[in-house]
Chain A
Amino acid sequence: MKNAAIHLENLSISYGKTPVVFDVNFSVSEGESFALVGESGSGKSTILKAISGLAPDWTGKISVLGKPRGHAPDREFAKVCQMVFQDPYGSLHPRKTVDDCLAEPLAVHGIGGRDTRVKDMLDAVGLDQRFRFRFPHQLSGGQRQRVAIARALMLEPRVMLLDEPTSALDVSVQAEILNLLKKLRREQGLTYLMVTHNLPVVSFLCDRMAVMRHGRVVEIAEVDALKTGRLSDPYSRELYAASGGTLQPA
């Protein structure tokens, strides 16, 4: 497959002795937005964790932008691939200001011009400059998620792993964050691998999706199949109906 941003081959992941993901194969091409959907415990977040290096107990092959991913933490890897977590309340350091938080990746990687980069990034995610020296507790949920996205983008990665980026937010705030993610992808040509259980969000933001159940991928479908309700696997159809969609014959 040419230009695969993320390529997974026979990926199995376990936590200790418990296997959670079995033989997952898929490729996300560059610039694509790919969704993983499924119920809790289906292993969708675990795949993101394995790619980002937070779940090192895996076998098979993971490659990102053509480079195979090792099991150890990898500084170079952090520059091309970053992750945004579900809970904006839990993923920011409570005693560091937004400025500290955004400048830290730059310091770690020895990148200069921090002042302007932080300012530019705040503009890019739609946060006013006055938020720069505030602490996370002074921000609302939507603003915090913007900071988390900004932090992930500081190193100018090309691949973003999004773990339920909007499920902790209100619908109106969710709309703002989804618009932001769409805009950033358009402007910077990012590749998204997003975990969610909200099918309408997939419909808005993604090109393809994989439905997971019990640690296996049961179906990979184009987003058009989702929009028209023509999913083929019985489980995906069940999920679709539960989300309030009207099924069409596959």
Chain B
Amino acid sequence: MSAPLLEIENLTVTFPTSRGPVDVVKGISFSLGRERLGIVGESGSGKSMTGRSILRLIRKPGRVTADRMTFDGIDLLSQSERQMRELRGARISMVMQDPKFSLNPVMTIGEQIGEALLTHKKLPRSELKARVLSMLEAVRINEPERVANLYPHEVSGGMGQRVMIAMMLIPEPDLLIADEPTSALDVSVQAQVLDIIDDLVTGKGMGLILISHDLNLVSRYCDRILVMNSGEIVESCKASDLHKATHPYTRGLLAAMPRMNEDRDELPVLDRSTWTTGAGT
């Protein structure tokens, strides 16, 4: 592997509250090559904030500070808003959780995907259409011609999420951040959507950051895993070594999950007092 695609050192995200500033991400560092990285944690662990801060999507009054945040040699912290707009979508893109709220309800699917490409590149209309259709095909949508003319409310959740992925991948970015891309979907559809992301990412040699609360799912689809708890990375390991995890939090999460062949009478519950002073459940 050559130079890492993304390098982050000492990233902190702070929000002011009535009781003084609160760090939701507390000085985390990691780097990413052209590989699949999973970030796992529970609600409030700061995993989504980490993803958003890479794209500088944290709005005021939130504040992002870092010693170093470079993407492919570009210093993300010193970019102007205009320069960031050029990066977003074209070089780094993000798939959000719920297709219902992230697609424009009054534009057809074809127009939306086309717009994502046109923002970054001028193309003749016929070529644009061909690209959109082939992208829809790549995310395994049957009858792309028909679907391109539908509005978001006319498609199912799984299809909506595939449209989102098509939209995010059509400018051929180098890094895809997928923030809980499947938690709004059914189990059977989840696997399909992740397989598509996986195929496209490995096929194009992109980097992927998969943010999720589902340890099993992340271990199936990623090379490396970071486990976050209350804004800190508590464990970093290879996905295949997840079962050898050492931190009590990771072990607790693994144990708390019911298994397919469940024989325990009671599920072990996390004892939060041992490693964190943060808010409990």
Query: Chain A residues in contact with chain B, CB under 8 A?
Result: 39-40, 140-143, 170-176, 178-179, 182, 197-201, 203-204, 226-229, 238-240, 242-245
Contacts and interface: CB of A to CB of B under 8 A. Distances in A.
Contact of B281 (A173, A201, A242): A173
A164 to B, nearest CB: 12
A141 to B, nearest CB: 7
A142 B281 contact: yes
Nearest to A238: B188
A42 to B, nearest CB: 9
A148 to B, nearest CB: 15
Nearest to B255: A175
B269 A172 contact: yes
Interface of B: 42-43, 157, 186-191, 213-216, 220, 252-253, 256-262, 264-270, 279-281
Contacts of B279: 140
A226 B260 CA distance: 7
A172 B213 CA distance: 10
A215 B280 CA distance: 40
A240 B188 CA distance: 9
B188 A39 contact: yes
Contact of A172 (B260, B261, B266, B281): B281
A231 B258 CA distance: 19
B43 A199 contact: no
Contacts of B187: 39, 197-199, 239, 242-243
Interface centre among A142, A201, A228, A244 (most CB of B within 10 A): A244
Contacts of A204: 258-259, 262, 264, 267
A200 B43 contact: no
A133 to B, nearest CB: 19
A128 to B, nearest CB: 11
A244 B281 contact: no
The 7 closest A-B pairs by CB, nearest first: A175-B256, A175-B267, A200-B258, A204-B258, A170-B42, A203-B262, A142-B281
B186 A172 contact: no
Contacts of A172: 42, 252-253, 256, 269-270, 281
Contacts of B264: 204
Given A141-B43, A170-B42, A242-B190, A182 B261 contact: no
Interface centre among B220, B252, B259, B279 (most CB of A within 10 A): B259
Contacts of A198: 187, 258
Nearest to B45: A170
A142 B188 CA distance: 26
A39 B264 CA distance: 27
A199 to B, nearest CB: 6
Contacts of B216: 244
B153 to A, nearest CB: 15
A182 B266 contact: yes
Interface centre among A170, A174, A226 (most CB of B within 10 A): A170
Given A199-B260, A242-B191, 6 more contacts: A140-B279, A172-B269, A175-B256, A179-B267, A227-B262, A242-B187
